Structure 1
Amino acid sequence: MWFYRWRRMKKSTKKKLYNLITTSIVALLIIILQWLNPAWFDRVEGIAYDFKLVSFSDNYPVSPANIQIVDIDEQSLKTIGRWPWPRKYLAELIDQLTAQGAVVIAFDMLFSEAQQNPVSQVEQALLKQGIHLDLNKLKSQLDDDTIFAKSITNNDVILGTLFQQDKSLQQGYMLAPAIIQPQQPLPHLLNRYKGYNASIKKLNQAAQGQGFINAVIDVDGFIRRTALLSDYKNVLYPSLALETFRVYSFAEKIIPQWHHQENISLLSGIKIGKALIATDNKAQLLIPFRPTPRAFPYTSASDLINKKITDKRFDGAVVFIGSSTVGMADLRTTPVSLAYPGVEIHAAVFSALMQPNTQVTQPEWWLGANIILLVFLAIFFYFILRILSPLAMTLFALLSISVLWGINVSLWHYQHLHLPIIAILLLPFVLSAIAISKGFYSENRQRQQVKAIFDQYVPPAHIDQLLDDPNALNMEGERKVLTVLFADIRNFTNLSENLSANKLKTLLNNYFSPITEIIFNNQGTIDKYVGDMVMAFWGAPLPDENHAEHALNSAMQMLVETTKLSQQFQQQGLPNISIGIGLNTGEMNVGDMGSTFRRAYTVLGDSVNLASRLESLTKFYGVTILVSEYTKNQCSNYDFQFIDKVKVKGKQQAVTIYLPIDKHCDDKQKQVAKQFNEIFELYQQRQFINALHLLKSLQKQHGNNPLYQEYRRRLTFYITTPPDEKWDGAFIHQNK
């Protein structure tokens, strides 16, 4: 029943229904894509986020805290020694920072194993030899872990922890976190871990706090977010930056802000003292990367240990200690750099926690807002695109995408809101692409119907021009500089007399098909076929700056193709064929010429006639192709051999004609052309005896041909009967 109703439905109604269904399906698919957020889609969204971060995050307020980074860099490794260092150097590092006024020190590294005491090694060696000494006091004095722990107690130091998913890894000592834990733990979306690597008990108990240093890596391997809280055995632990902020703020506890939905707890933020830090449901926030690495002040660790820092840079400072060396494997892939020091990420997060109101956040309501916007855009585009032309659709789509992108960037830049944008841009792009494709498909189908009828008779480029601009049909035509070609099968009259009509048709069809293809492939226009003759021209109806060269390329390819065809014809029991080609370049009339009953797109004029005469002269000179000096002057990719300076019948102006030579031909052919060019120059200079001497040498080396015979006849005549003073070197042809 529905099929019967569809067939009887009006075409306009069908089109509206089709557009409605298409728009609805596309909108639904994109909404589902936004909801599911597959990995590949998240990658694309990440690229858009990176572009906004790099291009539109230029307003970085000065942090109220003095944030410094101490870098265990290549200089430090070269000065102190390779890592791991004896911990007395780290103790010295803390002591120097404490003396210079640092108020909080955070280590972006682990100390999960006790350092071996050199006194214990000596004691064990003595015991093996039966020597018992009391070295406990000395052992305590030279124990680097004890020295390091003592230095840690002299300042507010935060040590790092690395959570693991392997529950068998539980190395080091975990401090009780200063976080208000949920009274009745419910399922949540925070990262959960089963194991850990922490610093040893002696060091952790001396520290003021402990924070995890795990990175949140997106599906494309980039770090764009950081987790402030993570779950280990149903206990929440802070990140290194968050714990550093708590200690710096003199806050006793970190208070997660929860709201509950059915059987799940969702995090909306974290409260520390009076500061409320907005996060997503996974306790994550977007990292406010600076445009380039090393945006915070860096100091080499070796300079501190060797007491080379004498300024006040660390007065009241929060110091993050880490490494930017490749060997210590803490360089991260981020939107702003593929080798971003991990320690600087912690510094950037701490800076954001100090100024939560300037932090770019992704609000909880973003998904609902995007879905509502997608529905609105689908309805809007359904009504707009149906009334626009393909070109207007393209412009409108570009304008819409630009406006949507501009609004999204404005929300980022001025309101500090990050809203995923790819789905919003994808909807107008896909809907416009479908509408544009449908419009072009309908138009192209009509064009193909016309072309299918007339392609065999009218040049395809001319059909396209008429379809694009019907006003291009001009009976008066126009004068243009073009190149025209005539090609004729030699001795066709004798050849046709020996073939049946069917075989003759087969031969001509098999000849004209590849010849026509060569002309079309070189941007030529077939003018007409007259028996065995084909006429073509270049430079119209579509402009072609290289029309002469394209015409000559066609001619040379036609000669090669004719040789191949002759071999095929011989195998089929058909006669061999050869052709002569004439080309000329000049001003001629071109256009749609004829009557209201029949018309042809053709060229007329003296320049056309000259090309026809040149084709006829190929038989006289015994060559396959002749071009005029006007064509030769526009074909720099070819070499040429002089043939003659002639006046054709009906014309008083002399024209020099040439035999084109492919630059890639063998050296023998080039040498022959060079020698004959010398003969022709001598001939034009009336040095007939010298020219004849060179000609005889050339004939002796390369045999005789009609061209050599003709010049030997002329030279012999002019030696005995020199021409008068008015002779200009031109030969007058009396036959067409």
Structure 2
Amino acid sequence: MKIKSQYLALALIFLFCIFSQYDIFVKLENYVEDAQFQKQKDPDSDIVILGIDEKSLEEFGTFPWDRKVYSELFDILSKGKSAAIGVDIIFSDKSDSPESDLALIDSIKKAGNVVLASYGNIESTSYENIERKYNKDIRNFEVSTVEEPMEELKEVSKSGFINVFPSDKDGEIIRRFYDNINYDGKKINSFSYEIYKEAVKNGLNSGKLLAKQEEIWNKNYIDFSGAPGTFECHSIADVFDGTIDPSYFEGKIILIGPYTVGLQDRFFTAASRNYQMYGIEIHANLIQNYLYNNFKTYVSDKVNLLILVLLGIASYLLFKKLTPPKASVLLLVLMGFYLVIANFTYSKGIIIKIVYPLLLMASINIMLIIYSYIDEYIERRKITDTFGKYVAPQVVDQILKGGEKSLNLGGVRRFITVLFVDIRGFTPLSEKAQPEEIVEILNDYLNLTAESIFNEGGTLDKFIGDATMAIYNAPLDLEDHAYRAVKSAWAMKQGSIALQEKLEKKFGKSVQFGIGINTGYAVVGNIGAKFRMDYTAIGDTVNTSARLESNAKAGQILLSKSTYELVKDKVEVTPLGEIKVKGKANGVEIYQLEKVV
């Protein structure tokens, strides 16, 4: 029983829903999302990075530096009235120089807008493991311990966690962030959010702090401004030597952190999959997301499943009505349209899955193409197997190739060879045998005639009681068609010997073939009524062949002169002269076939 295409489509939809639910193609999905969404944008000019780079290391020596360096840096920057200063360095313990620690504390206190870094210790840093642990409800995301600034610094500054959360599915790539974590019963905001808060408090964004939506913000996709190096960056050494005047930083956010390969604070990101971005640049991107309320949130699993189901059903209904080429063109159009929709929803802060719907639409299209070819093949086989039992295989092939046009009434004039064969002595035999036995005997003889015709490429035109009509060189061209017809007749005669012995032994009687063959022009095609037609040949050539057969004795094969002239170099015959046949004024010269070379 053939499976209906709609059931296959539903099975595909169900399968892709499972794929989506369990993120089977997560690597491909992440790659496509990054390629679609991470476009180069203008970085906010109010965010400036001061890097601990090679120039700074040459100036102040091996890292970590004496804390007096930072103290002096903050004193200089304080003159510029910046909006906030974020320091991506953890000052968790006292240094070997109490004097330097006191200087750092005093400078941070005087600046009044410094945000320091803390770090939450967790079992796994990948966001997939975190979401699995908390069943995607990461509002309760908790860390075991926290490395924070020492108490004296906490009293004069703010701090936030600097953890980044890479994907463990495709090469430790940073593409999402968490807005806060829990520790010891209290929430700790991210480093970037604390800097954003401090900057707004000091006048940035007109002093308006955006309301937090923690259940959304806490599982966000980072909208990067661009590749590494996008944000304005200067060396810390440039501040000390006066290259950059402190007034340049007025009203800006200053980010201080490692900016050289040797300090190993680099990560692959959604915007830079092939080369790494410094951690301080990631924080710059996050702060810009906060400033512009630019948060990209993934829709729920239920919405993604609903999209798959609706797109799958719509694709099936559309593709099913079209030919494979047109359906493939429509598939490309729908894919492009879906990408446009995905980019539009992304611009509105909503992320829908891309790969699963695209693969589902493509799979349904491919399934329908394969299904149509299989369906066509099965239908052709069905027609060939069933219809071929009634007409010649060549006729079936012509119908399959020509479609409805091949079934139109009409014919063409062709040069053909026609063979008629009849069973001699069949009536007396039927008087001795039972009806069932008669049918069996008849089928044996007709099978022999059919096989002999087909083996030489002839077209079995029809069975007429115990007689058979065959034509050669129609509907397909057949080289040496007269000789092939003669060979068919000879095969019938030789094949009937075993059948004769079988009948003689059982009934005391046997039967033989009488065969007539003629060659000439005839009209060949679909003859009959519109609701019932035969593929056959008509004309004098056919009539003459039938008359030769009726004049042939048991076991005799008669050839007309026209046939003999075409095969005389390949046969041995006995000329029989002219005979009078019904319906013809002139006699017909005939030859008895004795042997085929």
Matched, 1:215 2:164: yes
The answer as to whether partners of 1:23 and 1:378 remain within 8 angstroms in 2 is yes
Closer/same/farther in 2, CA of residues 68 and 351 from structure 1, 3 Å limit: same
Q: Which moved more, 1:306-315 or 1:89-98?
A: 306-315
Query: Structure 1, residues 631-687: CA drift from partner, whole Å, max 9, x if none?
Result: xxxxxxxxxxxxxxxxxxxxxxxxxxxxxxxxxxxxxxxxxxxxxxxxxxxxxxxxx
In structure 2, give the amino acid aligned to 1:434: M
Among 162, 183, 192, the residue aligned to 1:241: 192
Contact 1:105 1:320 in 2 (8 A): yes
Partner deviation per Cα, 1:308-335 (whole Å, 9 max, x = no partner): 3237421222111011211111111112
Q: Which amino acid aligns with 1:343?
A: I
Q: Give the deviation of 1:26 after TM superposition.
A: 1.6
After TM superposition, give the deviation of residue 228 of structure 1 in Å: 1.1
Residues 1:159 and 2:110 aligned together? no
**Counterparts of 1:311 and 1:202 in 2: how far apart (Å)?**
27
**Structure 2 match to 1:204:** 154
Aligned AA (1:24): L
Task: Show the 5 A alignment for 1:162-311.
Answer: 162-165=119-122, 189-207=139-157, 209-218=158-167, 219-220=169-170, 221-250=172-201, 274-278=209-213, 280-281=215-216, 283-310=218-245
Q: 1:161-209: CA deviations, max 9, x gaps? A: 1110269xxxxxxxxxxxxxxxxxxx854432101222222333332x0
Where structure 1 has 5 or more consecutive residues not aligned to the other structure, the ranges are: 1-6, 8-13, 118-139, 168-186, 252-271, 451-466, 472-593, 602-736
Shift of 1:408: 1.5
Q: 1:282, 1:410 → 2: CA distance?
A: 20
129, 144, 158: which one aligns with 2:100: 144
1:351 is aligned to 288
The structural deviation recorded for 1:59 is: 5.5
* CA positional deviation for 1:98: 1.0
Structure 1 286/279 Cα, relative in aligned 2: closer, same or farther at 3 Å?
farther
Instruction: Count residues in correspondence.
Output: 380
- Aligned 8 A contact 1:166 1:195 in 2: no
Aligned residue number for residue 358 of structure 2? 425
CA 1:243–1:597 in 2, change beyond 3 Å: closer, same or farther? Answer: closer
2:138/2:218 contact within 8 Å kept: no
For residue 328 of structure 1, what is the aligned residue in structure 2?
263
Tell me by how many angstroms 1:107 deviates.
0.8
Separation in 1, partners of 2:373, 2:278: 52
Shift of 1:213: 0.2
Is this contact kept in 2: 1:245–1:354, CA < 8 A? yes
2:140·2:182 contact (CA, 8 Å) conserved in 1?
yes
CA distance in 1, matches of 2:30, 2:401: 43
Secondary structure of the residue that 1:321 maps to in structure 2?
strand
Would you say 1:46 and 2:2 are equivalent positions? no
In 2, distance between residues paired with 1:306 and 1:381?
66
Q: Residue 401 of structure 1 corresponds to which residue in structure 2?
A: 335
Letter in 1 for 2:100: D
- Pairwise CA distance, 1:81: 1.1
Note closer, same or farther for the CA distance 1:298–1:188 as it changes in structure 2 (3 Å cut): closer
Distance across 1 between alignment mates of 2:326 and 2:191: 55
Query: Deviation digits for residues 380-411 of structure 1, max 9, x if unmatched?
Result: 23333333322233222222222212221233
Q: Distance in 2 between matches of 1:469 and 1:250?
A: 82
Distance 1:427 1:381 in 2: 9
For residues 489-509 of structure 1, the C-alpha deviation after alignment (integer angstroms, 9 at most, x for no partner) is: xxxxxxxxxxxxxxxxxxxxx
Q: Which residue of 2 is the match for residue 481 of structure 1?
A: none
Matches within 5 A, 1:597-608: 599=477
Aligned-pair RMSD on alpha carbons? Answer: 3.5
In 2, Cα distance between equivalents of 1:229 and 1:408: 28
Please tell me whether the aligned partners of residues 13 and 312 of structure 2 are also in contact (alpha carbons under 8 angstroms).
yes
Provide closer, same or farther for how the CA distance between residues 342 and 308 of structure 1 changes in structure 2, counting only shifts above 3 A.
same
Distance change >3 Å, CA 435–CA 95, structure 1 → 2: same
Distance 1:199 1:115 in 2: 12
Q: Answer whether contact 1:189 1:282 (CA < 8 A) is retained.
A: no
Q: For each residue in 1:239-273, what CA deviation from the matched residue of structure 2 results, as whole angstroms up to 9, or x when unmatched?
A: 0111112222239xxxxxxxxxxxxxxxxxxxx96
CA distance in 2, matches of 1:166, 1:382: 46
The worse-fitting range, judged by mean Cα deviation, of 381-390 and 292-301 is: 381-390
CA deviation after TM superposition for structure 1 residue 439, in Å: 2.6
CA contact (8 A) 2:32 2:355 kept: yes
Q: For 1:333, what is the secondary structure of its paired residue?
A: strand
Alpha-carbon deviation of 1:373? Answer: 2.5
Structure 2, unmatched stretches of 5+, are: 125-136, 384-399, 406-471, 480-597
Corresponding residue for 1:367?
A: 301
Name 1:528's counterpart in structure 2.
none
Alpha-carbon spacing, 1:101–1:212, altered in 2? closer, same or farther (3 Å): same
For 1:25, the equivalent position in structure 2 comes to 11
Cα distance in 1 for partners of 2:59, 2:22 equals 49
- Larger RCO (alpha carbons 8 Å, 6+ apart): 2
Given candidates 81, 84, 88, the residue that maps to 1:101 is: 81
SS of the residue aligned with 1:249? helix
Aligned 8 A contact 1:385 1:432 in 2: yes
Which letter maps to 1:347? A
**What is the rounded CA distance, in whole Å, between the counterparts of 1:600 and 1:74 in structure 2?**
87
SS at match of 2:288: helix
Deviation at 1:100, TM superposition (A): 2.6
Alpha-carbon shift at residue 106 of structure 1 (Å): 0.8
Residue 29 of structure 2 aligns with an amino acid whose one-letter code is E
Q: Which amino acid aligns with 1:428?
A: M
- Could you say what secondary structure the match of 2:321 adopts? coil
Which SS does the other structure have where 1:291 is aligned?
coil
- Give the CA deviation at 1:229: 0.7
| Partner SS, residue 161 of structure 1 | strand
Q: Distance in 2 between matches of 1:298 and 1:391?
A: 53
Contact between 2:219 and 2:297, CA under 8 Å: does it hold in 1?
A: no
Q: Does 1:66 pair with 2:50?
A: no
Map residues 614-633 of structure 1 onto 2, 5 A cutoff.
none
- Classify 1:447/1:215 alpha carbon distance in 2 versus 1 (closer, same or farther; 3 Å): farther
Taking the aligned partners of 1:246 and 1:274, their CA distance within structure 2 comes to 7
Equivalent pair of 1:52/1:409 in contact (CA under 8 Å): yes
Partner SS for 2:149: coil
Over 3 Å counting, the alpha-carbon distance change for 1:282 and 1:361 in structure 2 is closer
Instruction: Rate the CA distance shift 1:386–1:297 in 2: closer, same or farther, 3 A.
Output: closer
The CA deviation at 1:109 is 1.6
Q: Residue 596 of structure 1: CA displacement?
A: 4.2
Partners of 2:402 and 2:261 in 1: CA distance: 64
Matched to 2:175, the amino acid is R
Secondary structure of 1:435's counterpart equals helix
The one-character-per-residue Cα deviations of 1:398-452 (angstroms, maximum 9, x if unpaired) are 2222221222123324x343222222222211211211222344557789999xx
Higher mean C-alpha displacement, 272-281 vs 144-153: 272-281
Q: Does 1:87 align with 2:24?
A: no
CA displacement, residues 545-601 of structure 1 (integer Å, 9 cap, x when unaligned)? xxxxxxxxxxxxxxxxxxxxxxxxxxxxxxxxxxxxxxxxxxxxxxxxx95477479
Distance 1:445 1:324, change over 3 A: farther
Distance 1:314 1:393 in 2: 59
Residue type matched to 1:205 in 2? E
Query: Structure 1-normalised TM-score?
Result: 0.47
The answer on whether the counterparts of 1:217 and 1:223 sit within 8 Å (CA) in structure 2 is: yes
